[in-house]
Amino acid sequence: MIDSNLETWVKSAPLLRQALTHSSYANEGVRKEAHNERLEFLGDSVLQLVVTEWLFEHNPSWSEGQLSQGRAAIVCEPTLAEAAMRLDLGLRLRLGRGEERSGGRQKHSLLADAMEAVIGAVYLDGGLDVARDFVLNALGFALRGVEGREAGRDHKTALNEWLRRRGEEPVYEVVGSYGPDHAKTFEVEVSVAGVALARASGKSKKEAEQLSAKAALKQLSDNEPSVPSR
């Protein structure tokens, strides 16, 4: 069980404050204040390294593709947002008035970004070993869920096979993107015969496609008669 007291992990109060400061808050202030986008950029790289290293060491039989898919199942907006909620990051975010009014404390995109920013702050404050401990503890639930179960499962391939048996082909379309250039989030919709099946968001187009395929598979398996036919 991870110590949810962030001050245990980040001793520097200014650094932790920056990690929890959204750009909307910094831009509304009378005096210029640092926000968390740079820390988010750093934290994303640390997160990728730690998760990749863990998967590599714990799954010696996995191929490169399986390792990539396992990492994508962990380093994604839903998982990071859940980790942030387990740490109550939403309650500690410093948001601008607009974000506050629009429910920013519950937005998965803001929570996931804040989680990466905190990881970046932990790394700067305590180094890689401390950051590794933080990531493995904070995302332990996701690592355990991936290992030996869904890791290596290519949802796009599974969806393609499912539909081809029924004479259909999926179409993936990027329907939106948001966030800074260095950390964009993409929203992808998968459809069949012009009928939308599911949408999902991810840190890359490939990840969003995988997650939308996963959601589509669940919908189709739950309600097979709804599959459109030509």
Q: What residue type is assigned to position 225 of the chain?
A: P
Catalytic, 224? Answer no
N-to-C CA span, the chain: 51
Q: Which two tokens stand for residue 154?
A: 């290519």
DSSP secondary structure string, 142-200?
A: HHHHIIIIITT--HHHHHHHHHHTTT--EEEEEEEEES-GGG-EEEEEEEETTEEEEEE
Evaluate the CA torsion angle 128, 130, 134, 136 in order and state its sign: positive
Q: Is the dihedral of CA 198, 179, 125, 21 positive or negative?
A: negative
Eight-state DSSP code of residue 32: -
- Known binding-site residues equal 40, 113, 116
Q: Which of 44, 77, 187, 189 is catalytic?
A: 44
Residue of 82, 116, 187, 189 with catalytic role: 116
Helix (H) or strand (E) holding 109: helix 108-126
Binding annotation for Mg(2+): 40, 113, 116
List the one residue out of 89, 108, 110 whose CA is nearest residue 98. 110
44 is catalytic: yes
Q: Which residues are catalytic?
A: 44, 116
